[in-house]
Amino acid sequence: MSRRPEILFPVFGDVRKLEGIGPKGAEALARADISRPKDLLLTLPHSGIDRTLLKSLKGFTFPGIATVEVEVLSYREAAGRGPFRVVVSDGDLDFQIVFFRPNGGWITSQLPLGERRIVSGKVELYDGVAQMTHPEHILPPDEAEKLPAFEPSYPLVAGLTQRMMRKAVISTLCLAPELGEWIEPSLIKKHNWPGWKEALDQAHHPASVLDLLPAAKARERLAYDELFAHQLTLALARAHRKRAKGISTISSGQLRKKLLAGLPFTPTGAQSRAVAEIVDDLAAPIRMNRLLQGDVGSGKTLVAILAMTAVVEAGGQAAMMAPTEILARQHMASLGAMAASVGLRLEILTGRDKGKTRAAKLAALREGRIDILLGTHAVFQKDVEYKDLRFAIIDEQHRFGVSQRMELGEKGRAVDILVMTATPIPRSLALAHYGDMDISVLDEKPEGRQPIETVVISSGRMDEVVEKLRGAIARGQQVFWVCPLVEESEVMALTAAQERFRALRLALGEDAVGLVHGQLKPEEKDAAMAGFVSGETRVLVATTVIEVGVDVPNASIMVIEGAQHFGLAQLHQLRGRVGRGEKASTCLLMYDPPLGQSAVARLKIMRESEDGFLIADEDLRLRGAGDLLGVRQSGLPQFRVADLEIHADLMRIAQDDARLLLKNDPELNSARGLMARVLLYLMDRDKAFLLLNVG
C-alpha cells in the first residue's frame, strides 16, 4: 500500500543513528511517543532559557539562570566526598562554581586557573554567597557565539535530558529535506508563513519567548500542515463516498405531511430545515453521511421520525440505534403513538429479547413486516437481517466509537447514515471529528420549553434542600436527584446512590423515592423508571444513567450532588432532563467546599447560560479537546503542534483548502497535488491513498 517518497526516507530512519541517542535513548524517546526522526521534528520546545550574556551578577535577582564571563581565581577541594568549589570573579562580584561528586582533573581542564571563561547555569544564594552549581555551559570567550541567547527546552521523560534532546533535534534538522509547497500560495502570502523547512528551523531555534507562542508564524505554519493533512484525508474519504453509488430514495412526502398534521405543535424552523436536508440526501444517488447536532431538547427525535417516513414510503426500512436500553425504550414510547397514527410498523430490539420473542422479531424484520427498528447495538448484530435497510440513525454516536459508524452499511445496500448528538460540539472539534460528514444544526428550542433556574448551593445546606423538596412534592412536583460521579469505582458511585436513596426515603417517605442505576437488572430499571413516569414515585435517585434522553415532562427539579466533579457538557445534559413540561423548573448544583478555580468557573457558566453551544465552547476552553470528547474513545486526531482550541480558525481554513484542492485536482496529480501526497506520507496518512483511485 505505502510507497513513501525517497526524499522522506531519512526522516523515517532509525532514531538510534541520531547524535546523542543510543539504544537507551531510543527507548526513552519511545516513551515520549517518538519513534522516528520526523516525530522529533514536530516535538517543539515548550519553553526556553534566556542565556543573554550579563556584565555582572551584581544586582542579579536570585535564584535564576545567568550567563556571565568570569576569571578563575582559586580552587577549594573538600576532603573525602565533599564538593569541589571554584572561586571566580566577574569583575564586580566574586562567587563560587560548585561541583558535587567531582572529577577534579576534568574541572581544572574546563576552568583553568587565571583564565577567562563564559559560564551559564542556575545561580542561588547559599549562606549569603552566590553559587552556580554544575554549570550547563562552560566556553572560552572566543566561542561565545556557540551559546544561543535563548535556548529551547523540550518536554522530557525519564532517561532523556535537555542536552540529549537538543543534540538529537539538531541532528534531525540536518536530515530534513527541502520540500516543495503543498499550501495554497495565496494562504502563505496572506498569513506570512515561512516554508516547511524554514518553519522547522525557526520553531526549534526560538529567539525569545514570543517564538514559543502558538501564534508565532513558524508554529502556526506547522500546525496548519497537520490540520491540512487531516482535512485532506477527510476530504478524500468524503470524495470516495460520493463516488460510491448510493440508492436514490425518493418519496412523495405524503406520509410526512400526514404525521405533521397530527402533531399538536409546529416544528421549529431548524427542525424543518434539517428534515429537508436529510430528505434531499436520501433522494441523491450517493450515500448520506450526515451529523445532526442539536442542543438538549431541540427535538432531534422528531426530525428522525419525519426523515424515516421518506424511506418507508419508498418501500425501504430504517433502523435507529441508541446507546442505552432506557433511551431505546423511551424512543419506542415517544414515537410509538406517532408511528401508529400513520400506519408505520415500529418495533424494538434489545439484548433483553431472547428465544421465541427474538426469533419472531427477526423473522418479521427479514420479511419486511417491520418498517422501523429501534434498539441498542443489538439492531446490528450478525444474525439480524433486514429485507431492505436503506437508512440507519445512530443516536449519541460518541457513546459507541467511530468504527461502528462504518459497520452499519453492511446491513443493507449502500445504507444512508445519520449520526445524532445532543452534546453540542464546538465547531473546531466537529470539523476534526466529523469533517468527512455534512452537518445539520438544530439551534432553536421548540415552543413551550421552560427556562430553567440554576442555583449553586453548598452541600452544607442539605437539610434545607430536603425540606424544600418536601414542600415541592406536596405541590405535586417531581424531582431527579443525581448522585456524585465517583470515577475511581462504580461500586463507590453505587454505594453513594444507595445511601442517598435510604436517607431520602427516611426524610420523604418510603413510597415517594425510587432508585435507578447501571447495576440494576433491565426489568428493575424499567420498573423504577415506570414508577417515576407514572408519578407513583416523586423523587428518582439516580447515577448518571439518566444523563441522556430520559424524558419525564412532570419532573421540574433536578438536584446534582457533587456538581464540582462533573464536566460542563454532562451538567448541561443532566439539567436538560427538566424544563420539558409546563411548570417552571429548577436545577440545584450542590457542591462540596472548598472549590478549585476550574470548578468555580464551570458552575458559574452553568448558572449564567442555558446555551449548549456556548457551554461547549467554554468546556473546550477549560478542559481541552482530549478531555472533552475523550481522545482515545472518540477517534479524535492527536496533533503534535496543532491545538484544536487555539487553532480553530486554521481548521476551518484547512477544510476549505482541502476540499478546493480535491475539487480542482481529484487525483492529486498537479504540482501542488504531488506535494500534498508527500505531506500525507509525512503525517502518517498513508491510508488516505486507499481512497484515491491511484497512489
Structural domain spans, the chain: 52-147, 254-442, 452-609
Question: Between residues 617 and 337, which one has the greater pLDDT?
Answer: 337
Instruction: Specify the range with the lowest mean pLDDT, choosing from 52-61, 273-282, 441-450, 458-467.
Output: 441-450
pLDDT of residue 426: 72
The continuous run of DSSP H or E covering 681 comes out as: helix 671-682
Q: What pLDDT is stored for residue 493 in this prediction?
A: 67
Mean predicted confidence (pLDDT) in 602-624:
82
Which of these ranges, 199-213, 592-606, 611-625, has the smallest mean pLDDT? 611-625
pLDDT exceeds 60 at position 296: yes
Can you read off the three cell numbers belonging to residue 389?
435497510
* Of 42 and 399, the one with more pLDDT: 42
pLDDT at 621 over 80: no
Q: Which of 115-124, 544-553, 570-579, 680-689 has the lowest mean pLDDT?
A: 544-553
CA distance 444 to 421: 15
Nearest 5°: phi and psi at 481?
Answer: -125, 105
Report the candidate in 519, 520, 569, 576 with the shortest Cα–Cα distance to residue 553: 576
3-state helix, strand, coil in the chain (%, to 5): 45, 20, 35
Residue 183 pLDDT more than 60?
Answer: yes
Rounded distance between C-alpha atoms, residue 6 and residue 93, angstroms: 57
Query: In which band, very low, low, confident or very high, does the pLDDT at 633 lie, cut at 50, 70 and 90?
Result: very low
**What is the average per-residue pLDDT within 446-466?**
89
pLDDT recorded at residue 631: 37
Q: pLDDT averaged over the chain?
A: 86
Nine-digit cell string for 198:
524554514
CA distance 476 to 210: 61
416-446: burial string, b at 16+ Cβ within 10 Å, e else: bbbbbbbbbbbbbbbbbbbbbbebbbbbbbb
- Total Cβ atoms within 10 A of residue 206: 23
| SS3 label, residue 28 | helix
pLDDT greater than 60 at residue 271: yes
24 pLDDT band (50/70/90 cuts)? confident
Q: Of the ranges 128-142, 419-433, 437-451, which one carries the lowest mean pLDDT score? A: 419-433
| pLDDT tens-digit readout, 505-548 | 999 998 999 998 878 887 888 888 888 988 899 999 988 766 55
Confidence tier at 403 by pLDDT (50, 70, 90): low
- Contact status, residue 238 vs residue 436, Cβ threshold 8 Å: yes
Q: What is the pLDDT of residues 231-265, one digit of tens each?
A: 998 888 877 776 667 788 998 899 999 999 998 88
d(CA 18, CA 34): 13
CATH class of segment(s) 52-147: mainly beta
305 to 19, 57, 101, 299, 350: CA distances (angstroms): 63, 76, 76, 11, 19
Q: Rounded to an integer, what distance in angstroms lies between the CA atom of residue 561 and that of residue 29?
A: 43
For position 397, what pLDDT does the model report?
56
Proportion of the chain above pLDDT 90, given as a percent: 48
Architecture of domain 254-442: 3-Layer(aba) Sandwich (3.40)
Which contacts (CB < 8 Å, 24+ apart) does range 380-387 have? 380/319, 380/321, 380/404, 380/407, 380/408, 380/411, 384/349, 384/411, 385/411, 386/317, 386/319, 386/411, 386/412, 387/317
pLDDT band at residue 627, thresholds of 50, 70 and 90?
A: very low
DSSP 627: H
For the full predicted model, state whether its pTM sits above 0.75.
Answer: no
- Note the pLDDT of residue 487: 55
CATH architecture of 452-609: 3-Layer(aba) Sandwich (3.40)
Model pLDDT, residue 292? 92
39-90 pLDDT, tens digit each? 999 999 999 899 989 999 988 988 999 999 999 999 988 777 788 899 999 9
Once rounded to an integer, what is the mean pLDDT over residues 284-306? 88
SS3 137: strand
Q: What is the pLDDT of residue 569?
A: 81
Same fold yes or no, 52-147 and 452-609: no
Classify residue 624 as left (phi > 0), alpha (psi -120 to 50) or beta: left
| Mean pLDDT, rounded, for 622-636 | 47
